[in-house]
Amino acid sequence: MSALDLAAAAVRRWTRWYSAGLPPSVRDRRLAELESDLWEHRAEARALGLGERGTAVAVLWRMVRGMPADLTWRLQLGGMAMTSTRGIERSSGLVMLLMVLLFAGGLSGPGIGSSEPYFTEDFPALVADRGDHLRAVVFQFLAAGAVIAAAWLLYVTFRTPSPAAARFGGIALATAGVLFLGAAVAAARLYLLADDWSSGGVPGDAAWRSAKTAAEIYSTLAFFGGFAFLASFGAFGMLFARRRVLPRPLGWLGLAGGALAILSLLVLGAGVSTGWYFMMLGLLVVFVAFALTAAWLVVRGVAHPEAQPPAL
């Protein structure tokens, strides 16, 4: 299966998901229009002699950019009755699991440091492994889309027990998704520049300098995206721990990860480079908390507030 087939399959799956539960005539029409669009996009790319990978990235990018409009269209047509409460919970869990897996894929490419001496060491290695880098970029785009979708789903899932925490967590997670999307765009640009540089570039030339700028943008956006990501789980962790909608240890785990990450910022701010280890450990803990929460949402769902003592 080619990269373009995979991209088309992702568009179909996404369209089937957000149009689920609509009247068949509306749903079938949207699916058929997207099918025609994908066919025309592929046909035009072929006629223009464009590469399959580049076209696949363009198709995925169109899907990701259209996601907010897809979701608002769906809400306008069907409101929150899109699926049952249990269905939303299960979807939240599945999207979160997908997000964790996609993040793992996004981290699989060659690393790139934006400061010296790391950039000078890392960029030639990235040029040599640019195929792996491109694969990681595709994962990063998909992961960013999954983060945005998870933000919306988690907000819908938890807004009844705690509207403020759900709103803060949802906004923080959506912000993280947008920042990750920006980082993925910078990573895609880095791939194009690496490709240019591979044909006879020398350290310090224009492509090299542009690549360094792209690496700096990537690092900055990924860093702030990571911070927003941790802040979101801080809010959801607090919600789980206080409202007992999910097992409390899940909330504590998320809060512990967030605390570790904040501690790492303070340590890094004090100029101690081992702060990165705290940051990585914090992210690892939050990812484990995310994965366990996701699994719980899929299998058991949320304990609804009717069964709970009065709100705190």
Partner 1 sequence: MRRKPGTLILIERSILEAATDFARRGEPEFHGYAVAGEIREREGARRLTGHGTLYKALDRLERAGLLASRWEDPDVAASEGRPRRRLYRLTAEGERALAAAREREAAPVARLRPGRSAT
- The contact set with partner 1 (CB under 8 A) reads 11, 15, 29-30, 32-37, 39-41, 43-44, 58, 61-73
Compute the residue count for the chain. 312
CB closer to partner 1, 73 vs 252? 73
Q: Which is nearer to partner 1, 23 or 131 (CB)?
A: 23
Indicate the burial class of 309 (C-beta count within 10 angstroms; 0-12, 13-18, 19 or more). exposed
The least CB distance from residue 48 to partner 1, in Å, is 11
Kindly state the smallest distance separating residue 146's Cβ from partner 1, in Å. Answer: 16
Cβ neighbour number for residue 43 with a 10 Å cutoff: 10
Quote the least distance from Cβ 14 to partner 1, whole Å: 9
Kindly state the smallest distance separating residue 297's Cβ from partner 1, in Å.
25
Closest distance of CB 243 from partner 1, Å: 31
Minimum CB distance to partner 1 smaller for 36 or for 84: 36
Q: How far apart are CA 99 and CA 279, in angstroms?
A: 19
In terms of CB distance, is 147 or 239 closer to partner 1? Answer: 147
Q: How many CA atoms lie within 13 A of 63 on its CB side?
A: 33
Nearer to partner 1, 32 or 272 (CB): 32
Report the nearest approach of partner 1 to the CB of residue 27 (Å). 12
Q: If you write DSSP's letter for every residue of 259-272 in order, what string do you get? A: HHHHHHHHHHHTT-
Residue number, 37 or 122, with CB nearest to partner 1: 37
Q: Name the phi and psi angles at 110, rounded to 5.
A: -65, 135
Question: Which CB sits closer to partner 1, 44 or 132?
Answer: 44
Question: CB–CB of 241/251 below 8 Å?
Answer: yes
User: What would the two tokens of residue 186 be?
Assistant: 């910078």
Query: Token pair of 310, please?
Result: 């009065």
Cβ at position 69, least distance to partner 1 in Å: 4
Ranges of H-type helices in the chain: 3-18, 24-47, 52-78, 85-106, 118-128, 130-158, 163-198, 206-243, 248-269, 275-299
Contact predicate 279/225, CB 8 Å: no
CA distances 83 to 69, 89, 106, 202, 311, Å, are: 18, 10, 30, 56, 26
Question: Cβ closer to partner 1: 140 or 264?
Answer: 140
CB of 219 to partner 1, least distance (A): 24
